[in-house]
Structure 1
Amino acid sequence: MENIVWINGSYEEDNRIFDSKRQAEEWTDALLPDFGPYLIRKMNVGYATPDEKVINYLEYFLPKWASYNNVKISIHREKTIIDGQDIYKIWTQQV
Protein backbone atom coordinates (compact mmCIF):
# COMPACT_ATOMS: atom_id res chain seq x y z
CA MET A 1 0.00 0.00 0.00
CA GLU A 2 2.66 2.48 -1.01
CA ASN A 3 2.12 5.64 -3.01
CA ILE A 4 -1.64 5.72 -2.53
CA VAL A 5 -3.54 8.98 -2.28
CA TRP A 6 -6.31 8.45 0.30
CA ILE A 7 -9.23 10.73 -0.52
CA ASN A 8 -11.33 10.09 2.58
CA GLY A 9 -11.39 12.52 5.46
CA SER A 10 -12.74 15.63 3.80
CA TYR A 11 -16.45 14.78 4.10
CA GLU A 12 -18.63 14.13 7.14
CA GLU A 13 -20.11 11.15 5.29
CA ASP A 14 -16.72 9.42 5.10
CA ASN A 15 -17.32 7.93 8.55
CA ARG A 16 -21.01 7.25 8.11
CA ILE A 17 -22.67 3.88 7.82
CA PHE A 18 -25.56 4.40 5.44
CA ASP A 19 -28.97 3.03 6.30
CA SER A 20 -29.67 1.58 2.87
CA LYS A 21 -27.84 0.24 -0.15
CA ARG A 22 -29.37 3.02 -2.24
CA GLN A 23 -27.92 5.74 0.01
CA ALA A 24 -24.52 4.07 -0.11
CA GLU A 25 -24.71 3.78 -3.90
CA GLU A 26 -25.63 7.46 -4.31
CA TRP A 27 -22.79 8.53 -2.01
CA THR A 28 -20.31 6.31 -3.84
CA ASP A 29 -21.35 7.58 -7.26
CA ALA A 30 -20.90 11.14 -5.98
CA LEU A 31 -17.23 10.38 -5.27
CA LEU A 32 -16.32 10.29 -8.98
CA PRO A 33 -15.05 13.92 -8.98
CA ASP A 34 -12.74 13.00 -6.10
CA PHE A 35 -11.34 9.87 -7.74
CA GLY A 36 -11.29 11.11 -11.34
CA PRO A 37 -8.28 13.44 -11.26
CA TYR A 38 -6.09 10.73 -9.71
CA LEU A 39 -7.23 8.09 -12.17
CA ILE A 40 -6.53 10.43 -15.11
CA ARG A 41 -3.02 11.11 -13.78
CA LYS A 42 -2.56 7.35 -13.37
CA MET A 43 -2.01 7.67 -9.64
CA ASN A 44 -3.04 5.05 -7.11
CA VAL A 45 -6.02 6.26 -5.13
CA GLY A 46 -7.85 4.79 -2.16
CA TYR A 47 -10.77 5.24 0.18
CA ALA A 48 -11.47 3.99 3.71
CA THR A 49 -14.83 3.83 5.47
CA PRO A 50 -16.63 1.87 8.17
CA ASP A 51 -19.40 1.12 5.63
CA GLU A 52 -18.69 -2.02 3.65
CA LYS A 53 -21.55 -1.16 1.28
CA VAL A 54 -19.59 1.85 0.02
CA ILE A 55 -16.52 -0.32 -0.61
CA ASN A 56 -18.64 -2.83 -2.52
CA TYR A 57 -19.97 -0.08 -4.76
CA LEU A 58 -16.50 1.37 -5.26
CA GLU A 59 -15.33 -2.07 -6.33
CA TYR A 60 -18.03 -1.89 -9.01
CA PHE A 61 -17.58 1.77 -10.02
CA LEU A 62 -13.79 2.18 -10.00
CA PRO A 63 -13.09 -0.05 -13.04
CA LYS A 64 -15.82 1.79 -14.97
CA TRP A 65 -14.43 5.19 -14.02
CA ALA A 66 -10.93 4.08 -15.02
CA SER A 67 -12.11 2.70 -18.36
CA TYR A 68 -13.84 6.01 -19.17
CA ASN A 69 -10.33 7.50 -19.07
CA ASN A 70 -8.56 4.60 -20.80
CA VAL A 71 -6.72 3.72 -17.61
CA LYS A 72 -6.08 0.13 -16.56
CA ILE A 73 -6.20 -0.62 -12.85
CA SER A 74 -6.43 -3.48 -10.45
CA ILE A 75 -8.49 -3.19 -7.27
CA HIS A 76 -7.35 -4.15 -3.79
CA ARG A 77 -9.41 -4.41 -0.60
CA GLU A 78 -8.60 -4.78 3.05
CA LYS A 79 -10.43 -4.80 6.36
CA THR A 80 -8.66 -3.42 9.42
CA ILE A 81 -9.73 -2.61 12.95
CA ILE A 82 -9.06 0.90 14.21
CA ASP A 83 -10.07 1.81 17.77
CA GLY A 84 -12.33 -1.27 17.88
CA GLN A 85 -14.19 -0.38 14.67
CA ASP A 86 -14.03 -2.27 11.38
CA ILE A 87 -12.62 -0.05 8.63
CA TYR A 88 -12.85 -1.19 5.04
CA LYS A 89 -10.26 0.05 2.54
CA ILE A 90 -10.12 -0.08 -1.21
CA TRP A 91 -7.41 1.23 -3.50
CA THR A 92 -6.31 1.12 -7.08
CA GLN A 93 -3.04 0.00 -8.60
CA GLN A 94 -2.07 1.00 -12.10
CA VAL A 95 -1.36 -1.92 -14.45
Structure 2
Amino acid sequence: MMEIFWINGQYQEDERIFDSQFEVYEWTDSLYQDFSNGFLRKENIGYATPDAKVIDCLTELIPQWAGYTNVNVTLHKDIIEIDGKDLYRIWITYCR
Protein backbone atom coordinates (compact mmCIF):
# COMPACT_ATOMS: atom_id res chain seq x y z
CA MET A 1 0.00 0.00 0.00
CA MET A 2 1.21 3.49 -0.80
CA GLU A 3 2.19 5.84 1.98
CA ILE A 4 -0.23 8.72 2.56
CA PHE A 5 0.52 11.71 4.75
CA TRP A 6 -2.78 12.47 6.53
CA ILE A 7 -3.06 16.14 7.43
CA ASN A 8 -6.10 15.72 9.68
CA GLY A 9 -5.52 15.50 13.40
CA GLN A 10 -3.67 18.82 13.53
CA TYR A 11 -6.74 21.02 14.00
CA GLN A 12 -9.76 20.95 16.30
CA GLU A 13 -12.01 21.54 13.27
CA ASP A 14 -11.06 18.13 11.86
CA GLU A 15 -13.88 16.48 13.83
CA ARG A 16 -16.45 19.19 13.18
CA ILE A 17 -19.68 18.89 11.20
CA PHE A 18 -20.15 22.33 9.67
CA ASP A 19 -23.54 24.04 9.64
CA SER A 20 -23.31 25.95 6.37
CA GLN A 21 -21.68 25.63 2.98
CA PHE A 22 -19.93 28.93 3.64
CA GLU A 23 -18.21 27.44 6.74
CA VAL A 24 -17.26 24.36 4.74
CA TYR A 25 -15.66 26.46 2.00
CA GLU A 26 -13.81 28.66 4.47
CA TRP A 27 -12.43 25.61 6.28
CA THR A 28 -11.45 23.66 3.17
CA ASP A 29 -9.86 26.72 1.58
CA SER A 30 -7.72 27.11 4.69
CA LEU A 31 -6.25 23.64 4.01
CA TYR A 32 -4.58 24.91 0.83
CA GLN A 33 -1.22 25.47 2.54
CA ASP A 34 -1.17 21.90 3.88
CA PHE A 35 -1.91 20.43 0.47
CA SER A 36 0.37 22.79 -1.48
CA ASN A 37 3.36 21.91 0.70
CA GLY A 38 2.77 18.28 -0.23
CA PHE A 39 2.43 19.16 -3.91
CA LEU A 40 5.87 20.75 -3.82
CA ARG A 41 7.38 17.71 -2.06
CA LYS A 42 5.41 15.31 -4.29
CA GLU A 43 3.86 13.53 -1.31
CA ASN A 44 0.62 11.59 -1.34
CA ILE A 45 -1.57 13.68 0.97
CA GLY A 46 -4.94 12.90 2.48
CA TYR A 47 -7.62 14.34 4.70
CA ALA A 48 -10.32 12.58 6.73
CA THR A 49 -13.43 14.09 8.30
CA PRO A 50 -16.85 13.08 9.58
CA ASP A 51 -18.36 15.81 7.33
CA ALA A 52 -19.05 14.65 3.77
CA LYS A 53 -19.52 18.29 2.71
CA VAL A 54 -15.82 18.94 3.35
CA ILE A 55 -14.85 16.07 1.05
CA ASP A 56 -17.21 17.36 -1.66
CA CYS A 57 -15.61 20.79 -1.46
CA LEU A 58 -12.06 19.38 -1.48
CA THR A 59 -13.01 17.34 -4.56
CA GLU A 60 -13.45 20.64 -6.38
CA LEU A 61 -10.58 22.57 -4.81
CA ILE A 62 -7.71 20.06 -4.92
CA PRO A 63 -7.49 19.91 -8.74
CA GLN A 64 -7.44 23.73 -8.83
CA TRP A 65 -4.69 23.83 -6.21
CA ALA A 66 -2.64 21.21 -8.05
CA GLY A 67 -2.98 23.31 -11.20
CA TYR A 68 -1.50 26.31 -9.40
CA THR A 69 1.71 24.34 -8.87
CA ASN A 70 1.61 22.55 -12.24
CA VAL A 71 1.31 19.01 -10.89
CA ASN A 72 -0.99 16.24 -12.05
CA VAL A 73 -2.73 14.32 -9.31
CA THR A 74 -5.36 11.63 -9.11
CA LEU A 75 -8.05 11.96 -6.45
CA HIS A 76 -9.21 8.99 -4.40
CA LYS A 77 -12.12 8.90 -1.97
CA ASP A 78 -13.64 6.37 0.37
CA ILE A 79 -15.68 6.00 3.54
CA ILE A 80 -14.55 3.98 6.51
CA GLU A 81 -16.30 3.27 9.78
CA ILE A 82 -14.58 3.95 13.09
CA ASP A 83 -16.37 3.36 16.39
CA GLY A 84 -19.71 3.16 14.57
CA LYS A 85 -19.28 6.51 12.80
CA ASP A 86 -18.56 7.18 9.14
CA LEU A 87 -15.27 8.89 8.33
CA TYR A 88 -14.96 10.33 4.82
CA ARG A 89 -11.49 10.38 3.30
CA ILE A 90 -9.89 11.97 0.28
CA TRP A 91 -6.28 11.65 -0.84
CA ILE A 92 -4.11 12.33 -3.85
CA THR A 93 -1.55 10.33 -5.73
CA TYR A 94 0.78 11.68 -8.37
CA CYS A 95 0.40 10.90 -12.05
CA ARG A 96 3.90 9.91 -13.06
Counterpart secondary structure, 2:67: helix
Per the TM alignment, residue 41 of structure 1 is displaced from its structure 2 partner at its CA by 1.4
Q: What's the counterpart of residue 59 of structure 1?
A: 59
Determine if the alignment matches structure 1 residue 7 to structure 2 residue 14: no
- Runs of 5+ unmatched residues, structure 1: none
1:40-81 residue CA offsets vs partner (Å, 9 max, x unmatched): 111110000000000001110001111100100010000011
Normalised TM-score (structure 2)? 0.96
Aligned residues: 95
Q: What's the counterpart of residue 42 of structure 2?
A: 42
- Runs of 5+ unmatched residues, structure 2: none
Cα RMSD, aligned residues only: 0.8
**Residue identity in the other structure for 1:5:** F
Q: Percent identity?
A: 51
Per the TM alignment, residue 88 of structure 1 is displaced from its structure 2 partner at its CA by 0.1
Per the TM alignment, residue 2 of structure 1 is displaced from its structure 2 partner at its CA by 1.8
Structure 1 runs of 4+ aligned residues shifted over 3 Å read: none
**Residue identity in the other structure for 1:27:** W
